[in-house]
Structure 1
Amino acid sequence: MTPTQAARRSDAPRFSIVVPAYGVEAYLRDCLDSVLSQSFQDFELIAVNDASPDACGAIMDEYAALDPRVEALQLAQNVGLGRARNAGMARAKGTYLLFLDSDDTLLPGSLAAIAQRLDETGDPELLVFDYSRTHWDGRITPNAKAKVLADSPRGAVALDDNPGLLGLLQVAWNKAYRRDFVERWGFEYPTGYYEDTPWTYPVLIAAETIAVLPRVCVHYRQRRQGSILHSTSRKHFDVFDQYGLVFAFIDAHPEFDRWRGPLFDRMITHFRVIENSPGRLPDEARAEFRTTFQQYEKQYRPAGHATPQGAASARRKAVGKLPAPLRGAARRAYRTARKVKAAPRRLRKPLRTAVLAGYYRAQRMLPVQNDTAVFAAYWNTDYACNPAAVHQKLLELAPKVKTTWVLKPGSRNTPPPGTNVVHPGSFGFWRAMARGKYFVNNVNFPTRVVKRPGQIHVQTHHGTPLKRMGVDLAEFPVAQGDLDLPSLMERVDRWDYSVSSNSFTTAIWDRAYPAEYTKLDYGYPRNDVLVRAGEEERLRARAALGLPEDTTVVLYAPTHRDYQNVPQPLLDLEHLAARLGEGFTVLSRAHYFLLDSPGGTGPKDGSGVVDVSRHPSVEELFLAADCLLTDYSSLMFDYALLDRPVVVYANDWEVYRATRGTYFDIHVEKPGHVVATEPELLDVFLSGRWSDDESAKLRTEFRRRFCEFDDGAAAERVVRRVFLKQENVPPVALPPERPSPRTRG
């Protein structure tokens, strides 16, 4: 009996899957779920929190508490990807080791396919499987070297019989490693930027039996930002030390000396990729990199070895023969041609006349006016939300700043006197876009707006996301509709600051809008009024609406449905109001997308329901209401600040989740009672359960998680940081009943 067979007959799991994590809160659940939902169940999952500053550790503990197959390993300090993998590997008990990066996912059926292939090939020391790249805009691209796997021998062989494997991407997560093989050789990951290199090559060379599974098992997420491939840093010099480790392994094992030549070729190719990739090396370090490159080339070139010349080598050789002044231009021309070839064709109709376009260009030639700020909200439809709250605080703290609001005619609210108002697309609008210093919006300014040097854009957003947003809509074509994701990202690239109300939202914005901006974990400015409100504000709001003090006010505020071409009511609100009786008053507020719906969205006269869809202040409606009745609207997160009951009517949850996508299950993380039918909804209110102890407990936990930064001073923090350039803004001061989810036990 072989050691492998003995291990398989013991209680050890078939697979130990190591998932290290750092700063990937927004992706970690997807990763862990992709493993735990596998049809093949004989595995352990070792999740390693590499002292991540976000909620990764809490998520791991949550999964470990719910599933005995999960072990959450919390490292006391950040040690880097390689050593985090080592820490997980030290805990492994499985026959085979697998590694999965925490922003990637395992495809359904992958473990079963891997296990079957291992059985078919006699438990080889190594199994190599395929992967695809998933992109932020929804594209999925195959492994460029997939043919190597497709053409591999069917059985388990050594690398000599399948040398093409050396040309695959140097990653840890496209292989299953027999644990006794790894332990016998003492393989461990080093630290550094390119830690996979001195792991991958020695493992391939040392394995006596390597099988191949030409099946896509992993989706390799190509993040728009945050990867080392998109970073400019001297850390890329780390590649030299890592190849030093590769050749140190060969020196220690002369029986593998035949691999010096192929490894030298791989090293030279890798160095050239780093050297020629735009943006990786700082300009001042390029000469030093080239010098070190040449030193390693001289040191490790085997005697008499000639590196094969491919098309890329021929191109570099031709460029090298050009006069020095032309070499840079030639390289840039090649890179441009490559981008043009890969870029999708975009046909855009002009939205404004040539006169306006020319006027805008002329205005951009004039200086930016440093004492000006431009505001907009909800696609220029209203003076409201976070931008309005920031504007009001700006008038208080920096009254000398000249402010402009972009508003369509007929908005529900108007800015304070003295505020310049321009209509979208007008001459005044394009002048403001060209010469303003600060830009604050809760959506985006038009794509045609050109961000000039010195201009600052603040994205305040307009809610906490239960539903999928941004590039996460790529998987949900119904919700995406005609949204052009590349154009969206052009607009997102203008952001300098992104405001968030909780760490959950911060992580979601990071994945939904991947770009380089500063995160402002300050709370939502529009919620300051809710945090500071007391009984006096409640009574004033009810009086303004003409609501008697002895009535129970239920505010019904649903969200829109992407899957409905023509809006259809999902609740018979008039029937509900009639059954509740005179002791209740129901306020109905339609989603702002539906205000101009041809069929209308408000209740009929005499129905017992008050239509407040066009009321100018949702915050005033919140203050007046005793209970919020909603479905999946982000209003629930704001209303939770008042510590008043919330009831969720989720009668189309499965359809909504399938067509729009959600970031969590409202039945699990719920602000109050969740019901699916009208009889259940009626019972919740008539029985009094809508405001019972369980409802209070649920909303307390909900408030702790999703109202993390809202303490009533969000607008002040934004103004002081962005407009007044103050780094030490007032810290978030949470009340005792709302401790940060990251710190509570």
Structure 2
Amino acid sequence: MEDPVPRFSVIVPVFEVQGFLRGCLDSILGQSFTDLEVIAVDDCSPDDCGAILDAYAARDKRVRVVRTAAHAGPGPARDTGVAEACGDYLLFLDGDDSFTPGALAAIDERLRLTGDPDVLLFDHLPTHWAGFDRPSARAGLLAAAGRDTTDLPGSPQYLQLPLVAWNKAYRREFFRDGGFAFGAGLYEGVAVSCHVLAAARRIACLDRICVYVEQRRKGALSRTPGRAHFALFAQYDRLFALLDERPGLAPLRPLLFERAVQHCLATLTRPDRVLPRHRAEFHRELVRFHRRHKPAGFRPPPQDASRWHLLALGSYPLFRAHTLVTTQQAVLVRHLARLRDRAAGVLRRAVARFHRLRPLDPHLVVYAASGHRGVLGDPAAIHRAARTMAPHLRAVWVVDPQHAGQVPEGVDHVRPGSLRHLQVAVRATYFVNNVNWPDDLVKRPGQIHLHTGDGTPLTSTGLDLLGRPACTFHTDVRRLLDGADRWDHALVSSRYAERILARAYPCRFSVLRSGAPRNDVLVRGDEERAASVRARLGIPAGNTVLLYAPTRRDHRTWYVPRLDFEQLAMELGPRRTLLVRLHPQYLKDPVRRLQLRDLHRRGLLVDVTDEPAAEDLMAASDLLVTDYSSLMFDYALLDRPIVVHADDWEAVRASRGAYVDLLAEPPGHVTRSTAELADLITSGRWRDEVSAARRAAFREKFCTYEDGRAAERVVARVFLGRDHGPVTIPPQSTRVAPAESMAGARKILE
């Protein structure tokens, strides 16, 4: 019996990548989609790559090792792999790159949805060696594609995507019948990519990052300046020779010619491609190429017509002069922008000095939260209470423009640094924030700063950060304490937090034993609000909702997932909904977006990192899964189960320090792996008596002052100058989780 044909043949050319090869192969073989073969082509690599490949082939029958007779480069190695492949689709992956988690499943799903097209285009993420990952420059083209198939005449913009082998899935029969081959030399993917796109009748797109592309510090030939980059002309010459053999593709010639010249122009001006001493010669070759392949009646693109006209003239001195002028224009624009900013600064300082001559406005309150991210958290809860208890006060929020659209209707707000912001900052009597105000805010006599804090501290803060390099690398403790010197009042939620605040912030401010105003809604309960949030997020009625909310890691520069979201979501099943809320620090992290966006679209989880109000998500969930986030102290007020996923507790405790031994005093069960967490939840042990007992002890110690009246207490004490009575902790036994509440409602209706 013949072996079944695999869905994918993944072809990996291998040469001098021993430090990356294991990661590359693991990213393929560890995919959730397993219907594949790996054809690893050992291109006479002089290092240990051959031994690594043999070891993987011995462990996994899906791996086949093919060896070339002599080193020829990645192009011929890929061609060798194509000859050996038998999968429905061909995928190419360089030995120092890797697939993202779930990439093959997503590729297969899109291929099936689009009826197995000739070519599927997908996105990649350049991963810089220093950890600075940036999305690809043309990601928006894929985002706008939708699920329809097209061809190159209908969608010429796809030629602007990188002309490489590894950002496409090729139908094997189409690739072989078309006679496509990479061949030797640098830029080996250029001719094949253009030819494939031109010949394909049906092209589909997947708006997902499927490949991590390693940006090596040294050793990558494509980023080594020298004469090797002259190979670009030979590759495009090969493309136009192929077009000559296929008269049916003649209408695409102007399009491909424009792309080729743009590519050569960009290569000419890049310092990591062509050396200065070679640029005149490269320009001469480009002029010859332009004259050799220019289609009749071709018109250059209007946005870059001047460079094209100079190219037609063939004078490198003129071309170089134009490039210098363009560069100087850009420098001049930046210089003028700096002068404008300086002038604006002088004007702002003048406005501030003028308004400092005026008395404080006793009814003006300035609010901000989380670095001007909107009307959020404790300041927002205080603002709502003040509108009822102290209607004579005028509130102005400081909100960044990108978050201004989320400001509730009727709430006055200003842009940071604007003239009106300066005016209210100089004249306001009260300032409310959950983080320190910027250093340039000058506190006038009579102004009152209320610091609400950003949650009960579990790990070191303030003065206790000293001596911990991982924490102080991006945090200036002296500046942190200087900001705290401006506080007049600081809020605490427990005796524990009060002791930490006195130790970590030895400054002159009064401590208000108020509780956290943002948590009032959790203490009081609001089933209608929880149901509204669940409906808005599209959570099926009666589903058990798990909120996963981890914190950031000081000892890591970028986000590293602590859970296998796909495995967890699959094991939880359709009756449980997983909400994932990462730390705000990772809002713009491309790795976070590529992983969660795909799983969100597939219905495996709901990405709620962008949701502004954490208290809404807590109220709408039945279970909190966290690591070391201060949300656990807030969530305990709901008297609902908490699971601590502490897979790297020792590393966090060593790098950051902790005030509590979380494993000795957890608010619930503790897990250390995705499998362990999934088993805890599916077995139902997450809500057993052990969990309830630990949660009760945790709440008694860390939620001393939370009684649901924190906002009223703060407004009365700070704004109205009167006491609001002692803290009275309400009973917890009447709390009902959202899933239970909705299930009960269904029974009544039935």
TM value normalised by structure 1: 0.51
Q: 2:357 aligns with which of 345, 349, 365?
A: 365
The reply to whether residue 610 of structure 1 matches residue 606 of structure 2 is: yes
For residues 500-531 of structure 1, the C-alpha deviation after alignment (integer angstroms, 9 at most, x for no partner) is 11111111111111111111001000001111
How many Å separate the matches in 2 of 1:596 and 1:357?
A: 33
After TM superposition, the structure 1 = structure 2 runs for residues 33-432 of structure 1, keeping only pairs within 5 Å, are: 353-411=345-403, 414-432=406-424
Change (3 A) 1:459 1:681: same
How many Å separate the matches in 2 of 1:482 and 1:633?
A: 19
Match of 1:731 in 2: 726
**Count of residue pairs brought into register by the alignment:** 389
- Asked if structure 1 preserves the Cα contact closer than 8 Å seen for 2:377 and 2:613, the reply is no
How many Å separate the matches in 2 of 1:735 and 1:553?
A: 25
- Asked if structure 2 preserves the Cα contact closer than 8 Å seen for 1:574 and 1:603, the reply is no
Following superposition, the deviation at residue 557 of structure 1 comes to 0.7
The 3-state SS of whatever aligns with 1:410 is helix
Match of 1:662 in 2: 658
The 3-state SS of whatever aligns with 1:437 is strand
Following superposition, the deviation at residue 350 of structure 1 comes to 9.3
- Asked if structure 1 preserves the Cα contact closer than 8 Å seen for 2:374 and 2:407, the reply is no
Could you tell me which amino acid in structure 2 is paired with residue 637 of structure 1? F
- Asked if structure 1 preserves the Cα contact closer than 8 Å seen for 2:458 and 2:628, the reply is yes
Following superposition, the deviation at residue 398 of structure 1 comes to 1.0
The reply to whether residue 459 of structure 1 matches residue 451 of structure 2 is: yes
- Asked if structure 1 preserves the Cα contact closer than 8 Å seen for 2:352 and 2:426, the reply is yes
How many Å separate the matches in 2 of 1:646 and 1:689?
A: 11
Q: 2:698 aligns with which of 702, 705, 729?
A: 702
- Asked if structure 2 preserves the Cα contact closer than 8 Å seen for 1:456 and 1:495, the reply is yes
Match of 1:524 in 2: 516
Match of 1:680 in 2: 676
- Asked if structure 2 preserves the Cα contact closer than 8 Å seen for 1:499 and 1:524, the reply is yes
Give the stretch that moved more between structures: 667-676 or 387-396: 667-676
Give the stretch that moved more between structures: 410-419 or 685-694: 410-419
- Asked if structure 2 preserves the Cα contact closer than 8 Å seen for 1:649 and 1:674, the reply is yes
Q: 1:478 aligns with which of 462, 470, 491?
A: 470
Match of 2:77 in 1: none
Following superposition, the deviation at residue 534 of structure 1 comes to 4.4
Q: 2:715 aligns with which of 719, 738, 743?
A: 719
Match of 1:136 in 2: none
For residues 686-721 of structure 1, the C-alpha deviation after alignment (integer angstroms, 9 at most, x for no partner) is 221111110011111111111111111000000001
How many Å separate the matches in 2 of 1:367 and 1:575?
A: 61
How many Å separate the matches in 2 of 1:412 and 1:729?
A: 34
Could you tell me which amino acid in structure 1 is paired with residue 357 of structure 2? M
How many Å separate the matches in 1 of 2:344 and 2:585?
A: 24
Match of 2:442 in 1: 450
Give the stretch that moved more between structures: 652-661 or 496-505: 652-661
- Asked if structure 2 preserves the Cα contact closer than 8 Å seen for 1:502 and 1:521, the reply is yes
Could you tell me which amino acid in structure 2 is paired with residue 475 of structure 1? G
Q: 1:511 aligns with which of 503, 508, 514?
A: 503
- Asked if structure 2 preserves the Cα contact closer than 8 Å seen for 1:580 and 1:686, the reply is yes
Could you tell me which amino acid in structure 2 is paired with residue 643 of structure 1? D
How many Å separate the matches in 1 of 2:343 and 2:450?
A: 25
For residues 557-608 of structure 1, the C-alpha deviation after alignment (integer angstroms, 9 at most, x for no partner) is 1111111112121111121010111221101111111101233343422150
The 3-state SS of whatever aligns with 2:458 is coil
Following superposition, the deviation at residue 634 of structure 1 comes to 0.6
- Asked if structure 2 preserves the Cα contact closer than 8 Å seen for 1:667 and 1:674, the reply is yes
The 3-state SS of whatever aligns with 2:654 is helix
After TM superposition, the structure 1 = structure 2 runs for residues 489-500 of structure 1, keeping only pairs within 5 Å, are: 489-500=481-492
- Asked if structure 2 preserves the Cα contact closer than 8 Å seen for 1:574 and 1:607, the reply is no
How many Å separate the matches in 2 of 1:456 and 1:476?
A: 32
Following superposition, the deviation at residue 736 of structure 1 comes to 4.8
Match of 2:540 in 1: 548
For residues 463-489 of structure 1, the C-alpha deviation after alignment (integer angstroms, 9 at most, x for no partner) is 010011112111211112232222222
How many Å separate the matches in 1 of 2:394 and 2:530?
A: 33
For residues 264-287 of structure 1, the C-alpha deviation after alignment (integer angstroms, 9 at most, x for no partner) is xxxxxxxxxxxxxxxxxxxxxxxx
Change (3 A) 1:417 1:609: closer
The 3-state SS of whatever aligns with 1:411 is helix
Following superposition, the deviation at residue 678 of structure 1 comes to 2.1
- Asked if structure 2 preserves the Cα contact closer than 8 Å seen for 1:710 and 1:734, the reply is yes
- Asked if structure 1 preserves the Cα contact closer than 8 Å seen for 2:563 and 2:673, the reply is no
Following superposition, the deviation at residue 624 of structure 1 comes to 1.3
The reply to whether residue 632 of structure 1 matches residue 624 of structure 2 is: no
How many Å separate the matches in 1 of 2:710 and 2:384?
A: 12
Change (3 A) 1:351 1:580: farther
- Asked if structure 2 preserves the Cα contact closer than 8 Å seen for 1:413 and 1:616, the reply is no
> Between the two proteins, what is the percent identity of the paired residues?
44
The 3-state SS of whatever aligns with 1:475 is coil
How many Å separate the matches in 2 of 1:418 and 1:398?
A: 17
The 3-state SS of whatever aligns with 1:600 is helix
Could you tell me which amino acid in structure 2 is paired with residue 545 of structure 1? L
Could you tell me which amino acid in structure 2 is paired with residue 664 of structure 1? V
- Asked if structure 1 preserves the Cα contact closer than 8 Å seen for 2:481 and 2:505, the reply is yes
Change (3 A) 1:572 1:408: same
Following superposition, the deviation at residue 367 of structure 1 comes to 1.1
Following superposition, the deviation at residue 357 of structure 1 comes to 2.4
How many Å separate the matches in 2 of 1:417 and 1:435?
A: 24
Following superposition, the deviation at residue 435 of structure 1 comes to 0.8
- Asked if structure 1 preserves the Cα contact closer than 8 Å seen for 2:370 and 2:434, the reply is yes
CA RMSD in angstroms comes to 2.0
The reply to whether residue 596 of structure 1 matches residue 588 of structure 2 is: yes
Match of 2:573 in 1: 581
TM value normalised by structure 2: 0.50
Could you tell me which amino acid in structure 2 is paired with residue 470 of structure 1? G
Change (3 A) 1:439 1:350: farther
How many Å separate the matches in 2 of 1:722 and 1:429?
A: 23
The reply to whether residue 622 of structure 1 matches residue 618 of structure 2 is: yes
Following superposition, the deviation at residue 538 of structure 1 comes to 3.3
How many Å separate the matches in 1 of 2:355 and 2:480?
A: 25
- Asked if structure 2 preserves the Cα contact closer than 8 Å seen for 1:672 and 1:695, the reply is yes
Residue ranges of structure 1 left out of the alignment (5+ in a row) = 1-348, 739-745
Match of 2:85 in 1: none
How many Å separate the matches in 2 of 1:696 and 1:351?
A: 61
Residue ranges of structure 2 left out of the alignment (5+ in a row) = 1-340, 734-750
The 3-state SS of whatever aligns with 2:519 is helix
How many Å separate the matches in 1 of 2:657 and 2:583?
A: 19
Following superposition, the deviation at residue 416 of structure 1 comes to 4.3
Following superposition, the deviation at residue 616 of structure 1 comes to 2.9
- Asked if structure 1 preserves the Cα contact closer than 8 Å seen for 2:452 and 2:491, the reply is yes
For residues 366-396 of structure 1, the C-alpha deviation after alignment (integer angstroms, 9 at most, x for no partner) is 2111110000000111210000000010111
How many Å separate the matches in 1 of 2:686 and 2:343?
A: 50
